[in-house]
Structure 1
Amino acid sequence: MSPQQPPPDELFIDPFKVKGTIDPTTEIGRHVLSQPPATRLELWSYYLYYNGNNGYNMFSFLPTLLQMMAQKGGFDPTKPDRPPCSLALSNDAPCNVPWPGTDGIPVVSMIMYATAISFAAQFLLFITFGSLADYGRYNQYILIAATLISCAAQMLPVLFINDDDGSSWYGMMILSIVANVAYGVTLVLYCAAFPILSDNLPIVRSVRANPAISVEETQTVIEKWRNHVSALSTTFSNIGFLIISAVFLAVSFIPWTQGPFLNEDHQFGNTPLYYFVASAACAGFLLVNAIPYFLFRPMGRRGPPLPPNEHHLTIGWKSVIKALSDGVNAISSMQTYIQNDITSFSATQTVVQGFITAITSIIGCLMFLVLAKRYNVSTKTNLMIIVVATGIVPIWGCFGIGFSNFGIRTNWELWVLSVWSGLFTGPIWAWQQTLLGELCPKGQENLFFSLFGLTSRSSYWIGASAIAAVTQQTANAYYGWPIIAALFVVATILLCFVDMDAAKLEMLHLDIQRELANTTSMRRRSKKGSENTSSNTEDDDEVIKMELVENRSEPSEEEEHRSIFLNHTCQ
């Protein structure tokens, strides 16, 4: 009995309410049944993982700790006696830290160099070891290890809690690099899991296994549910962001008498201790939210075996493709640094603005999800809108080079930036990973999402290095905005030339070619085995498989649909 599925264009449809069963006697049915179906527990634990791994600590508390400790341990290069820097800085006040091969570099340059180092490390890890997560059962094991390392790196800053003079800023820099690398790895592996999870929702499996549904209709259903899972997972990330913001907003107002204080307000949020406690708490929040996903993810979730004559350490390098540049991480780094400068490390204002960003991020994700599911706006169109809107931020920041009262220079602009970033920066993660999910070959999701990691994190080491070099020469953080703006211009232009229909057709060609290659390889192995011995069980199994293929006189309905689709498209 063919499964019956509800209309796929309803916004809040239950993907687990599907009638009927999948026919295991058909080739397409066996292919769909090769993966275990997604369960409610797996889906909700997947959302919960992103709720904990929301990135708040990576973009707020950790960089603030690094900047604060560096400025404590820094010096004013414009004065002969090189006095220590003050935490109550104006935007243009110089503050350098010791750096190998130089007489000191600005704090913002150090932060950008550290960011570049972490992204360069991710580049090497993703390309060299990215395929480990694609083949066999390595994905879950690597994700568990990366999550634990990320938690440890976020907790360990408490070791520097008594560092009053900032002399251990370099240790904080190392922890930040490790935390960023581990965080990047967790996001890549997490995002790579969503196409497989989405494609194995019962409602999607029923469509994929139904030979009466055309390839075009099947792809439409797959795309919509990938949008659904991606958007909701990002929404849950923003909910976690909102929870952290709300909790530490309340904690920041606790009256406090024991200094030192970062400004005149004697509240817990204006002490260095607040940031150390917050960082450790974020690590605990991540760990608690991550455990259910590791418990409820089916053990049957695995990739294909490694191709013959390939090695995990080399296959990634053979599969490298040119990636888009992305300036979103650059915006986050610059925004955090400038925000701390303008507010003199005011935790209260920073957390309130983070709270606003979290709320508007949830609104933004749901808004674009409605556009996609209710009004059939394509993934590429949504992403174009989001990228162009986000690109306004670095252009806005460029005005800060020549103006002292505009160009993300004032407090009121920080409030506007919080709203704008929430509406568009949050959704950009969901829709760019959905776009890649539609274009990555089956069985190579982790490798291609590693390349996505290169676009949004690892490839940014070039931009971060350029920003660090420019700010090192100018001692002005605002000169980094033109570089970020250029990254967005390049990304937007390249995105315009992405032909989704042609790319999907190419993916279909690759799937067919892979099936033909597997069939040919199987035939050769079975023939060789039958010639050598007839007692070998594995060879007998291969012979039986090939006899079934060879004895099939007519192509399956799925193959006919594919043939019709290819002929129609080529014409």
Structure 2
Amino acid sequence: MAETNFEVELDDEPSIPTGDQLDIQEPILSKNELYAWYLYAFACEVYAVVSLTSFIPLILEQFSFEKGVLNTDHTIPCNNSTAFSISEEVRCVVNVFGIWVDTASYSLYTYAFSVVLQAITAISIGATADHGAMRKTLLLSFAFAGSVSAMLFLFVTPSLFLLAGVFTIVGNVCFGASFVCFNGFLPVLVRNHQDVRKISSQIRSYIAKKNYTPSDEGNHNLEEDHNNFEEASLLATHNQQSLDPELSKLSEDLEKEKDRISTHISTRGFASGYFGGIILLIVCLIISFLLNSTVFSLQIGVFLSGAWWFLFSLLVIKWLRPRPGPPLYLDNGRKVGWFDYIIFAWTRLWRTVRHAKKLEMSFRFLVAWFFISDGYTTITSVALLFAKTTLHVPDTGLIIIALIVPVVGLIGAILFPKIQKQFDLTTKQTIILLNIMLLCIPIYGCLGFVLPVGGLRSAHELYFLAAWFGFAIGAIQSYCRTLFGELVPRGRETEFFALYAVTDKGSSWLGPTMVAIITDTTHEIRYGFAILLILLLLPIPILLSVDVIKGKADAAKSSENED
């Protein structure tokens, strides 16, 4: 792969070639638009880094603890300081709608329920966001709703621990839905980058000059249809490469340039998000010291993350172009309403799944992503709860651990493209390497069952594992998004990134739920590392079976044959 550490030269208002040079249907990417995309990552990722993965699980556990009772006697309050001297096996449970739940499991169940709703929401908006200006409209609508739910955390008390769970669910659903739309912009921005458009224009001219058709089924006029010439070049190369090495070389240059720019933009997006999270975590650490590490200091952190998300999203309104798709009409020609959009999205999903064989590599990657995302999400949940309930790490120490992850994650996101280039790794090979790095964490946790020392028996080990986890997590998220963006049919970006979100957050109920059940049954959260070990082993053989070149060609053909 070409060097990814480069400065993208974009004009604030780039000049648009005209006439025979380009037949433009979409504006070229400008600096302001690219910075607006980065800015939204800077806005919303703070909520994920500070609240969803760090503070909210601890708040939910503490609130439920203060309302909980001992599992051995459902009348003794957990906040009785002498209660836990009875036995090391004594655990705290809380009544949730008539069911006794371990307080360490309450946040896991809440998160699991929220991601199920998040999956339903993502599907309901996925295909519709590719029509009209819905992608930007939905992104901002969910951003403002989610940020307000985060700010309301400041006013919740332990007696309202169930309301805290509701705010968690609303915030997570809105964050995930807005991120679907955010990711849907990535392939659009990449293909409209001026360096990509320059090579694409050369390919279009060459194909038109040679009078190649993009496929047997297609009948596009390449001089008039700018939106399809990249796909045409890939398919024409597939059909003509043995006869026309020059066309093959041009198409290979285009794919390398798209991969280079996509990796660069995606990595910068995650880096900007982590940078925002680091800033706010430092502020929260100071607040925690000033307030003696009370749970209220964590509530202030969640409030600040919501305010941050809200305020910086306001700036996105002006600079991020809507990049509208075609308007959506029903068969009778009338425009559709909101309910029609939802029905259309689910119908489109069913049709896509029925024809999954035509995009086999895209769906194989989604299966692998299912396990990768569930694995690293569960690591985050299990590690913090394990630190609090088993190793008894104070809240200040937990904030430091939460701070280590994005700091090292930022470093990993920046350095891994250099590591990839140094060892000449493909994007797929890099993802496999990162997954193996994540796999080391549950292996180490499981060693605690057999080794007298080590194996996560002391708090200081967590600091090292947090750095290890952070170095891998920032990079693997970026590379997975980059690779999937290359396997997405044009014009259906948000629809497919909705599937990506379903297999990401939507799949994340599996790990937390299994760990919660094991914890409720055994009252030992360490068994959760065995679940993590399985989750992170499964994607490796699946990734090895993904043929990226075939996946790109299938996506191109799917775009061209879309009716």
For this structure pair, what is the TM-score category when the shorter chain's length is used for normalisation? 0.7 to 0.9
Structure 1 residues 10 and 177: CA distance shift in structure 2, 3 A = closer
CA distance in 1: counterparts of 2:400 and 2:521, whole angstroms: 34
Q: CA deviation at 1:448?
A: 0.9
CA distance in 1: counterparts of 2:151 and 2:52, whole angstroms: 12
Q: CA deviation at 1:449?
A: 0.9
CA distance in 2: counterparts of 1:339 and 1:36, whole angstroms: 50
Q: CA deviation at 1:67?
A: 1.0
One-letter amino acid of the structure 2 residue matched with residue 271 of structure 1: T
- 1:363 aligned residue (408, 411, 416): 411
Q: Tell me the residue number matched to 1:262.
A: none
Provide the secondary structure at the position in 2 that maps to 1:168.
helix
Q: Is residue 298 of structure 1 aligned with residue 346 of structure 2?
A: no
CA distance in 2: counterparts of 1:94 and 1:448, whole angstroms: 43
Larger radius of gyration: 1
Q: Tell me the residue number matched to 1:354.
A: 402
Q: Tell me the residue number matched to 1:431.
A: 479
User: Is contact 2:4-2:418 (8 Å) kept?
Assistant: no
1:305-347 Cα deviation digits (max 9, x unpaired): 4486592342123223553223111111112212223564623
Q: Tell me the residue number matched to 2:301.
A: 278
Structure 1 residues 191 and 10: CA distance shift in structure 2, 3 A = closer
Structure 1 residues 80 and 222: CA distance shift in structure 2, 3 A = closer
Q: Tell me the residue number matched to 1:138.
A: 134
5+ residue gaps in structure 2? Answer: 207-248, 332-342, 357-362
Q: Is residue 154 of structure 1 aligned with residue 150 of structure 2?
A: yes
Q: Tell me the residue number matched to 1:253.
A: 289
Q: CA deviation at 1:286?
A: 1.4
Q: Tell me the residue number matched to 2:91.
A: 94
One-letter amino acid of the structure 2 residue matched with residue 169 of structure 1: F
Structure 2 counterparts to residues 15-94 of structure 1, below 5 A: 15-16=9-10, 22-25=17-20, 29-30=22-23, 33-54=24-45, 55=48, 56-79=50-73, 81-85=75-79, 93-94=90-91
Q: Is residue 112 of structure 1 aligned with residue 160 of structure 2?
A: no
CA distance in 1: counterparts of 2:117 and 2:560, whole angstroms: 36
5+ residue gaps in structure 1? Answer: 1-6, 255-267, 518-571
User: Is contact 2:4-2:260 (8 Å) kept?
Assistant: no
The count of corresponding residues between Structure 1 and Structure 2 is 486
One-letter amino acid of the structure 2 residue matched with residue 464 of structure 1: P
Q: Tell me the residue number matched to 1:185.
A: 177
Q: Tell me the residue number matched to 2:429.
A: 381
CA distance in 1: counterparts of 2:51 and 2:81, whole angstroms: 21
User: Is contact 1:397-1:481 (8 Å) kept?
Assistant: yes
Q: Tell me the residue number matched to 2:210.
A: none
Q: Tell me the residue number matched to 2:168.
A: 176
One-letter amino acid of the structure 2 residue matched with residue 185 of structure 1: A
One-letter amino acid of the structure 2 residue matched with residue 216 of structure 1: E
Q: Tell me the residue number matched to 1:236.
A: 272
- 2:441 aligned residue (362, 372, 393): 393
Q: What fraction of aligned residue pairs are identical, expressed as a percent? A: 23
CA distance in 2: counterparts of 1:400 and 1:227, whole angstroms: 38
One-letter amino acid of the structure 2 residue matched with residue 280 of structure 1: F
1:100-121 Cα deviation digits (max 9, x unpaired): 453x121232222212211111
Q: Kindly indicate whether structure 1 or structure 2 has the higher relative contact order, using CA contacts under 8 Å at least 6 residues apart.
A: 2
User: Is contact 1:97-1:105 (8 Å) kept?
Assistant: yes
1:40-85 Cα deviation digits (max 9, x unpaired): 1111121121112221211112121111101111111123643324
Structure 1 residues 105 and 9: CA distance shift in structure 2, 3 A = closer
1:95-150 Cα deviation digits (max 9, x unpaired): 11113453x12123222221221111122122233112122211111111111111
User: Is contact 1:11-1:374 (8 Å) kept?
Assistant: no
Structure 2 counterparts to residues 488-507 of structure 1, below 5 A: 488-507=536-555
Q: Tell me the residue number matched to 1:195.
A: 187
Structure 2 counterparts to residues 312-323 of structure 1, below 5 A: 312-320=345-353, 322=363, 323=366
User: Is contact 2:4-2:263 (8 Å) kept?
Assistant: no
